[in-house]
Amino acid sequence: MKQKIPGILFLLAMPLSVLLYIKVEALSGSEILGLFSAVALYVIVAIVIALVFNKKD
């Protein structure tokens, strides 16, 4: 199960990034800021996965 958690987190990041894009774009009026925030979400999720799941047992 521990091997599937990173994939599940990335799958959860997909709809969250779309929602984040829509919210940021609506609030700021800038599509670029919405895009950067959505991409930043993926980067943050990847960093968290790398820090948590790349520990030696």
Q: Exposed/middle/buried for 42, CB within 10 Å: 0-12, 13-18, 19+?
A: middle
What is the arithmetic mean of pLDDT over 21-45? Answer: 95
Cα angle: 37, vertex 41, 47; to 5 degrees: 135
What is the arithmetic mean of pLDDT over 22-37? Answer: 95
Please name the residues in contact with 42: beta carbons below 8 A apart, sequence gap of 6 or more: 10, 13, 17
Residue 38 scores a pLDDT above 80 = yes
Q: Cβ distance 53 to 5 under 8 Å?
A: yes
What pTM did the predictor assign? Answer: 0.82
